[in-house]
Homo-oligomer: A and B are copies of this chain.
Amino acid sequence: MTDAPKDIEALIDIMARLPGLGPRSARRAVLQMIKKRGQLMRPLAETMMRVAETARECLNCGNIGTGDLCPICADDRRANGQICIVEDVADLWAMERGQVFAGRYHVLGGTLSALDDIGPEDLRLPRLMDRVTTETVTEVILALNATVDGQTTAHYIADMFTGSGVSVTSLAQGVPIGGELDYLDDGTISAALRARKAL
């Protein structure tokens, strides 16, 4: 499609399969890389190769690290009895950027979804039950997306722990910091009103 050498065609095809890139932006990215072979393309290829060799899923929580255990699961200071449940590693990173959660995580690897035929056995759920026992967890904090599938999964996990003595909490819903009411959807406003707090 581009009359470019075969390797460049192949590179564009693979790049175009990455999320957020289409054929057009893949072509632009590849041209940019070729222009900056030394500073951009070679370091990128080398780093990519290194990550492909070393990156592994943490056997405990599903986070990405380089050993059997990710840095968070290997860090005893983070065994504070709290486990934060997230859908995927991107959400774990988002939580870590917040720099406020001091416990450990559990990456589900997706959400329950009737449409996509994803059931409990497709998620990292059995492992969660094991961890609650072995790591003497007292609180499971649900940080799942506020979508239908996310909320279904949240309810499913809450049910799993009914009567177990483990408290199950969820991130608060409300007005985002810096958010303008006029731009918020009605659902968020009514959730924020219902959860109003005394000043």
Contact = CB atoms under 8 A, between A and B. Distances in A.
Interface of A: 1-5, 7-8, 10-11, 14-15, 17-21, 25, 27-34, 37, 40-52, 54-55, 64-66, 71-72, 88-90, 92-93, 96-97
Given A20-B20, A37-B55, 19 more contacts: A2-B97, A3-B72, A3-B92, A3-B93, A5-B51, A5-B54, A7-B51, A7-B55, A8-B51, A14-B44, A15-B44, A17-B40, A19-B32, A20-B21, A31-B89, A34-B51, A42-B49, A42-B52, A45-B52
A32 to B, nearest CB: 5
Instruction: Indicate how many identical chains form the complex.
Output: 2
A32 B21 CA distance: 12
Contacts of A96: 2-3
B49 A49 contact: yes
A94 B29 CA distance: 15
B19 A40 contact: no
Nearest to A88: B31
